[in-house]
Structure 1
Amino acid sequence: MKIVKYLGIAILVIGALGAAAFFIKSNAKSPITYETETAFKTDIEEKSVATGKVIPKEEVLIKPQISGIIDEILVEEGDQIKAGDLIARIKVVPNEQALMSARGRVSNAEIALRNAKIEYERNKTLFDRGVVASQDFLTIELRYNQALQELQNAKVDYQIIKSGSAGGEATANTNIRATISGTILEIPVEEGFQVIQANNFNDGTTIATIADMSRMIFEGQVDEAEVGKLELGMPLEISLGALQEETLLADLKFVAPKGVEEQGAVQFKIEGDINLDSINSFIRAGYSANASMILERKEQVLAIKEALLQYDKKTDDPYVEVQTGDQEFERRDVELGISDGINVEILSGIDENDKIKVWNKTEPVKRNTDKDDA
């Protein structure tokens, strides 16, 4: 009986060892069969994308020459106008204190003129008789002429404060006219709005914004890491958010000499002259746009897909795994060149004959057919 008992125990132990060996052997096999790819020759363009907008090259703000109230607006946003066209009329509302002060100045000038006239006429009679010396008479005559001029100046100032112009109809300052030909982009005021003229303490009220829509530019920003690769005159391909099927062509004309820090990154302003002949659609001011710039281009260089790269966790150095046997791979450090985001140039480390591991392949998920059938 003891022999049978020991024999049963031995069989159980051997069975357990066999099962463990099978389990270890089966788990030692890789559940994934890695595929490989090889390097190839291709053209690579390193591009940079600048975000920005499309705006007119020049915008002119029309401001009044005198303060008052908008009496009439004669144009609408989007209208095409020429230089000199009437945009609006302003009704002058004089300041009561300034008006009374100007009226008092006129009265004082009239009083001074009467006194100067009396003295002039009296001394002229004496001068004609030879009683008054010529030099004394010339001085009195000068004071009389100055009094005449002072009264005229006071009346002009009073008229300007009262009606907005020295003329009776006050058309010089109260009629707001376009200074350039173009399109009315914006009219930020309405009839009845109070406006003020530009002075040392205020920019003045903008009555209208005019721009020549036939001269448009792209205005955007690029990161400091890429601004050193930009060259004036390089071509830009501009895509518009509002017209996704259209592409504008432009030339880089300006790169800001000073950057501006935004959210921890230094950005540089760029501008490009847009060729409107390259598009048939009407371009509106303020369209959001992206400008694509080719920073560097290389033809027929050795490259691999960027997805094949791996990076050392400690040094961040790039490397690939090259096949040495059946599902056996070794690490190869590589030196990289330019990249277009899909393919990357290989300067050294591998050649066209090396089979590179597609390392990021995942094991397919097995379906539970019994559960699905249920």
Structure 2
Amino acid sequence: MKVKSILGIGLCCLALSACQQSRKPQEEGGKYPLLTLTPEDRQLSVKYSAVIEGKQDVEVRPQVSGTITQVLVEEGAHVHKGQVLFIIDQVPYRAALQKARAAVATAEANEATAKQTLDGKMSLYEDKVISDFELRTAQNEYKSAQAALLQAQAELTDAQNNLSYTEVKSPVDGYAGMTSYRIGALVSASMTDPLIRVSDDSEMYAYFSLSEKQVLTLTAQYGSLDQALASFPEVSLELNDGSTYAQKGKVDVISGIIDKTTGTVSLRAIFSNPDKRLMSGGSANIIVPYDRTQCIVIPQGGTYEIQNRIFAFKVIDGKAVSTPIEVFEINNGTEYIVEKGLQAGDVIVSEGAGLLKDGTIVSTPQDEQAPTDKKKEA
């Protein structure tokens, strides 16, 4: 009898120990927070490096050669279209213009003389005084005189243009840049550096790039580049000092050509610049917003990666089941927007997914509330 009692006690202890061991994973599993998924709205954004240029950023160059006799522009000043900025020595070009005018006068006189000669020859020919050869000769001399007059007139126009080019004018409204050219400097139309730059900064362009994959995604989403451009949201500009520019911008151009070197496509956003805060040649970040409505959002702490694939643990029948998911490529660093793999109503482990194993027993929200219910009944 004593032996049976001892064996019975031993079996009870073993059963109790096994029961406690079987409950241990559940107690550990209960430490993992769970999340029931519901659709939510999110606004994400992504930054792209951008280069800022004026609406018109023009290099002003001379069209004739000579020495600068006057500098009429102040560096950094606001200039108007047609305003004279530099004057190149006009003396040789005025002389060339006078010669051209004299050549035109001579050509006009020669043309008039040839016309009179032709008229006389025609009268003599009609009276059968001269031969066909003499008449044709007079006609050819008149045509030659006409051609000489046209050439002289063209040279006169060229001389007038060259004289006008000695006044180097601003082609646009805007602000003048810096210049190293002063009175006495020799300039020419073939010079490498411009005399000065003038930037029309009433509106500014910000140039940035998207990858080929991103552009293809936009095309697939909207049907064409034109429709993608029309649907593109307003963008913001983050300046180099970290501040956000007050004016919103609009993407107005998407290049249809992929850069072979970088594999990217260029885009242009236009910003109004009423306070002249944006300067041509500056750099900034374009901030593109992405609004997602009624999407499935999960914390990144509830995921893990294997070979560039992302997984989450979905709770099914109290067990953690590893589930592959596809996420939106843009995120805020703490959450993922799930495109495929999870849906509303699913329960997932929201933290510590990297410590779990597939099939681990975890408590459900009902299990976590059970002890509280029992205390209330007590």
Flag whether TM exceeds 0.5 (same fold): yes
1:298/1:189 Cα in 2 relative to 1: closer, same or farther (>3 Å)? Answer: farther
1:156/1:45 Cα in 2 relative to 1: closer, same or farther (>3 Å)? Answer: closer
Aligned partner of 1:65 among 63, 77, 82: 63
Aligned partner of 2:33 among 37, 50, 59: 37
Aligned to 1:5: none
Aligned to 1:85: 83
> Is 1:175 matched up with 2:167?
yes
Aligned to 2:323: 333
> Is 1:271 matched up with 2:262?
no
The structure where helix makes up a greater share of residues is 2
Q: Normalized against structure 2, the TM-score is what?
A: 0.60
1:312/1:60 Cα in 2 relative to 1: closer, same or farther (>3 Å)? Answer: closer
Aligned to 2:48: 50
* Contact 2:207–2:268, Cα closer than 8 Å, also in 1: yes
- What is the SS of the residue equivalent to 2:277? coil
* Contact 1:90–1:175, Cα closer than 8 Å, also in 2: yes
Structure-1 separation of matches of 2:31 and 2:279: 51
* Contact 2:173–2:200, Cα closer than 8 Å, also in 1: yes
Q: In the TM superposition, what is the alpha-carbon distance from 1:48 to its structure 2 partner?
A: 3.6
* Contact 1:65–1:173, Cα closer than 8 Å, also in 2: yes
> Is 1:304 matched up with 2:283?
no
Q: In the TM superposition, what is the alpha-carbon distance from 1:309 to its structure 2 partner?
A: 1.0
Letter in 2 for 1:74: L
Q: Normalized against structure 1, the TM-score is what?
A: 0.60
Aligned to 2:12: none
Letter in 1 for 2:251: L
* Contact 1:183–1:210, Cα closer than 8 Å, also in 2: yes
1:133/1:236 Cα in 2 relative to 1: closer, same or farther (>3 Å)? Answer: same
- What is the SS of the residue equivalent to 2:67? strand
> Is 1:244 matched up with 2:243?
yes
* Contact 1:67–1:195, Cα closer than 8 Å, also in 2: yes
Aligned partner of 1:218 among 171, 196, 206: 206
Structure-2 separation of matches of 1:140 and 1:131: 15
Q: In the TM superposition, what is the alpha-carbon distance from 1:85 to its structure 2 partner?
A: 1.3
> Is 1:289 matched up with 2:294?
no
Letter in 2 for 1:312: I
Letter in 2 for 1:290: N
* Contact 1:248–1:274, Cα closer than 8 Å, also in 2: yes
* Contact 2:67–2:187, Cα closer than 8 Å, also in 1: yes
Deviations 1:202-231 (A, max 9, x none): 687632322321121211111112123442
* Contact 1:237–1:250, Cα closer than 8 Å, also in 2: yes
Structure-2 separation of matches of 1:82 and 1:215: 16
After the TM superposition, which residues 108-123 of structure 1 pair with which residues of structure 2 at under 5 Å, given as runs?
none
Letter in 1 for 2:266: K
Give the % identical residues: 16
Task: Please report the RMSD computed on the Cα atoms of aligned residues, expressed in angstroms.
Answer: 4.8
Q: In the TM superposition, what is the alpha-carbon distance from 1:75 to its structure 2 partner?
A: 0.5
Q: In the TM superposition, what is the alpha-carbon distance from 1:286 to its structure 2 partner?
A: 1.8
Structure-1 separation of matches of 2:50 and 2:182: 31
- What is the SS of the residue equivalent to 1:246? coil
Letter in 2 for 1:273: I
> Is 1:76 matched up with 2:67?
no
Deviations 1:345-370 (A, max 9, x none): 34445746444342469xxxxxxxxx
Structure-2 separation of matches of 1:354 and 1:152: 89
Letter in 2 for 1:54: I
- Structure 2: stretches of 5+ with no match in the other structure: 1-24, 219-227, 356-378
